[in-house]
Every structure is written in C-alpha cells, then in structure tokens.
C-alpha cells in the first residue's frame, strides 16, 4: 500500500491534492490541522495535513489476484487445521507441565481449589483471568471434573471437549453480505466513544474497493458535527454519496433515492446507556425501515458492570449482530464471550486500530478460542 502526506491551506484543497495524485480510490487515513507555535506563529498561517493511502494492485491483474486469493484461502484452511493440531498438542503439554508442578503443592492449596481435577482448575483459572464470567467458565467445564489420576490421553480428550464447547458458544460469524436484488440497509448503533463511525468507514471501504459494490452512506448523527464531516470525507474519497437526515421521518425518502444501490450503511448517534429518551428516538428511527440489519458496536475495553447496563438498554431491539472494537487495547478478551453468552446474538467483526480499511476483520471463532485457552504459560 502506497502512503503519502499532503499539506494545504484547507481540508478541501488537501483532499483535491490526494485525488489528483492518487486518484479516487485513495483512502484518507488521517486529517490534522497544524497550528504553528512559538515565534513562528507570527509568520506562518495554520494549515491542514492529510495522510492518504492507495492500494497499488492493478485492475488488469484482478483475475490473477482472485485466483491467487483462492489458492491462498485453500492454503490458509490447511494451515489452520495444522495450527489447531499444533496448538492442541502445545496446550496439552503446558497443562501436563502445570499439573505436575501443581501436584507438588496440592495439599497446601487444596481448600482453594474449585475443581478436584488439577487440569480443569488450570483451565478455569485461565478463563477467569481472561475475564470470562465464573459461571460461564463453570458452564464450559461442566461434567468434566473427575477425581482420578490423570494421564495425557485424559487431558487431551478433555481439552478437545472444552475447545469445541467454546467454539459452539461463539458460533458462526454474521458479517454483512451485499447480495440480492434489493439494497441491503444496515444500521450501526451503540454507545458513545466506541469507534462506530470509523468502523463504518472501514466496512464502506471494504465493500467499495474489494467487493466493488455500490454503497451509499446515511448519517443520523447530527449531535456531532465531526462525525458528519468524517463520513463526508471518506465518502468523497470513495466517490460515493452521503446523506444527512435531521429527523427519522426523512429516512424513507432518503433510502428511496438510493434504491439502485447494493448496500446502504446508516450511522446513528451514540447513545448513553443512562439516557432513556435517546433510546426512544433510536427505536423510532429503526421502526421507519422494515427490511434491515442492525449491528451493535461495542468496545472490548468496557467494564463488565457497564456492559450489563449497555446491553439492558438495547433489549427493546430483538434482532441485531455484534461488532467489537478496540480489541488491541485490552489483554482480556473474555468480554466478547460473555456478551455472546448473555445476549445470544451473533458476533460479526472485530476491529483493532484506526487504519482504514485494514484494521478490521470478520471474527475468527478459532482465534478467539485459542486466545482464551492458549496462554496457560502466563498463569
């Protein structure tokens, strides 16, 4: 990917420079207003600095790229199977080593053990250290506690059962699919400060640049001028329309303007989980569209108590999928499993940075499971 920096008097001029140099497929990564400091502020005027990027894959090579992607995907499947076997063997080895070490001090710690089986106790501790709810950890380990002498075969079978139980809990991901003759209308909802607008920009870029879909943007977030400008900037770079609605009743007419599009993404205002009136507005906005998908955007850094309050406020919405942001800002991913367990709503994407469109991917149940089980050596 080609990355360049541009300077201009105004944001509009900087964006024009980007389009002239890199073309309409360029993506804006960052926009920053620079104000000279010190004595230089007397002689220099403020200016705008734009960081932009362009994927340099040629269109004429697209068929070759697609073929290469298929081969790469097949290799990835084989690699994933190999990695699963390797990680299970590694996990087995680590557990047996821990069991051996733990057994030496078993008598002094026996009163504090939740499980008779030392291997299960180690896995339980690892899950709860990753902030998996204790009752959920117990649910995952249920019926496996056997007070008998362990051998590698027993532990291997037990870990396989636990691994598969977590995979089943996570379930299959539910990403956005822009297929069908009618435009897919997708709402993004969530509390303030979780990175909802940036997430929409990443998904928009993916469907425009990678899947070559016709995408339209609508924002109902009129509380934050910055959010509108941010979406408008991305829309201009991607050469797609963006509409601003100030009243929910405007939405049906706005969607009618985009009836020939493959995908329409709708940004909503962030809602405080303590403000009931804002949720009435959101419910009304959602009710203006019959056929829709809803994605609840949550931060992986949110404390469990606050997460419960947030989820409670969205109980009026019966059907939604979940996106988790900021997973790079936490070392404990148990929150993701907890929310999936508490809501029974499908997981879809995880994001892990500010780079557009790169720092987002469809959630991998295997990666999450290994992250929750695979750090035995850190206990």
Written as one string, the DSSP assignment of 145-191 is ---S---HHHHHHHHHHHHHHHHHHH---------SSSPEEEEEE--
Domain total in the chain:
3
What is the pLDDT averaged over residues 237-255?
91
Let me know if residue 128 belongs to a domain.
Answer: yes
Helix (H) or strand (E) holding 64: helix 62-103
User: 147-151, 216-220, 370-374: which range is least confident on average?
Assistant: 147-151
Q: 376 pLDDT band (50/70/90 cuts)?
A: very low
Looking at the structure, do residues 47 and 152 belong to the same domain, yes or no?
A: no
Residues 305 and 354 occupy one common structural domain: yes
Residues 43 and 148 in one domain: no
- Together in a domain, 157 and 215: no
Q: Are residues 234 and 302 in the same domain?
A: yes
CATH of the domain at 283: 3.40.50.300
Q: Are residues 39 and 71 located together in one domain of the fold? A: no
Question: Does some domain include residue 177?
Answer: no
Backbone angles phi, psi at 243, to 5 degrees: -115, 140
Please check whether residue 334 lies inside any domain of the structure. Answer: yes
Residues 233 and 324 in one domain: yes
**Between 4 and 100, where is the model more confident?**
4
Question: How far from chain centre, in Å, is Cα 269?
Answer: 18
Sequence-separated (6 or more) residues with CB below 8 Å from residue 72: none
Q: Which carries the bigger pLDDT value, residue 156 or residue 275?
A: 156
Q: Which residue in 187, 183, 178 sits closest to 210, CA to CA? A: 178
The mean pLDDT of the chain is 80
Same domain, 206 and 343: yes
Domain carrying residue 84: 65-102+111-170
Say if 179 falls within a structural domain.
Answer: no
Q: Is the pLDDT of residue 275 over 70?
A: no
Q: What angle do CA 300, 125, 172 make, to 5 degrees?
A: 45
pLDDT confidence of residue 85: 47
* Dist CA 351 CA 355 (whole Å): 10
Task: Specify if 356 maps to a domain.
Answer: yes
Tell me the per-residue pLDDT of 309-362, one tens digit each, with 9 for 90 and over: 999 989 889 899 999 999 999 888 999 999 999 999 999 999 988 777 788 999
| Residue 193 pLDDT > 50 | yes
Q: Are residues 283 and 151 in the same domain?
A: no
Residue scoring higher pLDDT (181 or 325): 325
Element containing residue 233 per DSSP (H, E): helix 225-238
Asked whether the predicted pLDDT for residue 133 surpasses 80, the reply is yes
- Residues paired with residue 218 on neighbouring β-strands, in sequence order: 243, 266
What letter would DSSP give residue 346? Answer: P
Q: Is residue 178 part of a domain?
A: no
Instruction: List, in sequence order, every residue forming a beta bridge with 351; answer none if it has no partner.
Output: 360
70 with 15, same domain? Answer: no
Query: What's the pLDDT score for residue 39?
Result: 47
* Residues 210 and 297 occupy one common structural domain: yes
For residues 27-56, average pLDDT = 71
Task: Note whether residue 379 is domain-resident.
Answer: no
Q: Answer whether residue 375 is part of any domain.
A: no
Average pLDDT over residues 245-274: 87
Question: Is there a single domain that holds both residue 25 and residue 159?
Answer: no
E strand or H helix that includes residue 366: helix 365-373
The lowest-confidence range among 179-183, 239-243, 309-313 is 179-183
């Amino acid at each position: 990917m080609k990355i360049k920096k541009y300077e201009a008097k105004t944001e509009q001029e900087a964006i024009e420079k980007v389009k002239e140099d890199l073309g309409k497929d360029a993506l804006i990564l960052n926009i920053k207003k620079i104000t000279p400091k010190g004595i230089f502020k007397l002689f220099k005027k403020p200016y705008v600095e734009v960081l932009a990027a362009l994927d340099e894959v040629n269109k004429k090579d697209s068929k070759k790229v697609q073929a290469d992607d298929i081969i790469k995907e097949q290799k990835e499947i084989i690699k994933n199977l190999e990695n699963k076997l390797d990680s299970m063997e590694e996990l087995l080895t680590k557990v047996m080593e821990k069991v051996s070490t733990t057994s030496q001090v078993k008598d002094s710690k026996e009163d504090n053990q939740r499980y008779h089986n030392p291997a299960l106790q180690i896995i339980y501790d690892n899950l709860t250290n990753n902030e998996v709810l204790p009752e959920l950890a117990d649910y995952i380990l249920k019926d496996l506690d056997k007070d008998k002498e362990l051998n590698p075969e027993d532990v291997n079978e037990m870990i396989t059962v636990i691994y598969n139980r977590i995979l089943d809990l996570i379930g299959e991901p539910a990403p956005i699919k822009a297929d069908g003759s009618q435009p897919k209308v997708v709402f993004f909802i969530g509390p303030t400060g979780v990175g909802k607008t940036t997430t929409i920009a990443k998904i928009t870029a993916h469907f425009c640049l990678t899947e070559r879909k016709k995408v339209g943007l609508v924002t109902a977030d009129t509380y934050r001028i910055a959010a509108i400008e941010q979406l408008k900037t991305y829309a201009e770079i991607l050469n797609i329309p963006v509409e601003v609605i100030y009243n929910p009743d405007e939405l049906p007419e706005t969607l009618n303007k985009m009836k020939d599009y493959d995908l329409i993404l709708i940004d909503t205002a962030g809602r405080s989980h303590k403000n009931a009136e804002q949720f009435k507005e959101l419910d009304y906005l959602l009710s203006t569209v019959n056929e829709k998908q809803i994605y609840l955007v949550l931060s992986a850094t949110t404390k469990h108590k606050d997460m419960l309050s947030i989820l409670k406020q969205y109980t009026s919405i019966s059907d939604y999928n979940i996106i988790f942001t900021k997973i790079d800002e936490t070392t404990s991913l148990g929150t993701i499993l907890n929310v999936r367990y508490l809501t029974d709503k499908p997981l879809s994407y995880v994001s892990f940075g500010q780079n557009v469109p790169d720092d987002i991917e469809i959630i991998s149940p295997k990666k999450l499971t290994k992250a929750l089980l695979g750090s035995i050596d850190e206990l």
